[in-house]
Amino acid sequence: MASVDALGAEDWAGEVGDRWLRNVDNFESMLAPVSVALFQQANYMPGQRVIDVGCGGGATSVAIARLVAPEGVVVGVDISPALTAEATTRAQQHELRNLSFIAADAATLQWPEVPFDRLHSRFGSMFFANPAAAFRNLRSLLKPDGRADFAVWAPAKDSPWVANMMAIMRNHLDLPRPEPRAPGPFALDDPDYFGGLLRQAGFDQLEFNLWRGEQAIGGAGSTATTAVDFVLDSMSIGDVAREQPQLVRDRIHEDLLQMFRSHERPAGVMMTAIAWLVSARRS
């Protein structure tokens, strides 16, 4: 049985990336509150050169490109060719000439041009198979004293939107215990561990700020029904559910529906999420 926490880079290059693409607008809408907080922390300025790691469908890259224009440059990087193709199309629609995208593994990406002033990654840095080597490589993409800003999920047990879904799954399934530090959404949830990786990679001036806020599960205006559909179609919890007999799948669906109904608001199915906003500089 698949673990709901096991999701490596190779998955994002294929089916997982394709599923994100199918739900890209809902994902962006759901993650908007974290994006706003990370942008406030990063405070991008005109003229800066920025690399956006794990850029997905390109929404964060587009926003950064507008902030650093007209002289600044943004390169969005994602391991999913499907996502970078979509991001390129969307950037062209916005007529942003200072923005480009490449499909590549940021863990090994080599950049022949002048290093970047800034590195941005919203939930794009938790899936490296060899995180120590990956963060050393990310450091190489920055000029001396260049700054990196990351958003990573805090522990699942502390985020009600995840903890409540996992409690429902465990009511019906004997889930395997995730391998500690394995690539996945919560691989970097411990500041001591993540901070150690960054320091070993050659970063200093580390700052960890805990963000807590509400997000609309499945995007703004979601209902309990659309939130369940979103979770089961686009998240790894859906992979686990699909492996079960129909009766178990039906029970999981009904329990998720009831739980989400208790969080329905005019703005959507609003549930609390917790993330670490991290900044560091290349030493």
Three-state SS letters, the chain? CCCCCCCCHHHHCCHHHHHHHHCHHHHHHHHHHHHHHHHHHHCCCCCCEEEEECCCCCHHHHHHHHHHCCCCEEEEEECCHHHHHHHHHHHHHHCCCCEEEEECCCCCCCCCCCCEEEEEEECCCCCCCCHHHHHHHHHHCEEEEEEEEEEEECCHHHCHHHHHHHHHHHHHCCCCCCCCCCCCCCCCCCHHHHHHHHHHHCEEEEEEEEEEEEEECCCCCCCHHHHHHHHHHHCHHHHHHHCCCHHHHHHHHHHHHHHHHCCEECCEEEEEEEEEEEEEEEC
Phi-psi bin for 141: left (phi > 0), alpha (psi -120 to 50), beta?
Answer: alpha
Residues linked to residue 78 through DSSP beta bridges, in sequence order: 103
Reported as a single tens digit per residue, the pLDDT across 92-103 is 998 999 999 999
- C-alpha to C-alpha distance for 58 and 131, rounded to whole angstroms: 23
Show pLDDT as tens, one digit a residue, over the chain (283 residues): 344 444 344 465 556 656 767 888 999 999 999 999 999 999 999 999 999 999 999 999 999 999 999 999 999 999 989 899 999 998 999 899 999 999 999 999 998 888 999 999 999 999 999 999 999 999 999 999 999 999 999 999 999 999 999 999 999 988 777 787 889 899 999 999 999 999 999 999 999 999 999 999 999 999 999 999 999 988 888 888 888 999 999 999 999 999 999 999 999 999 999 999 999 999 9
pLDDT digits (tens, 9 = 90+) for 204-214: 999 999 999 99
Predicted TM-score (pTM) of this structure:
0.92
Q: Which of 122, 136, 141, 5 is nearest to 56 (CA)?
A: 122
Q: Which sequence spans correspond to the domains of the chain?
A: 9-159+179-216+274-282
Q: What would the CATH number be for the domain defined by 9-159+179-216+274-282?
A: 3.40.50.150
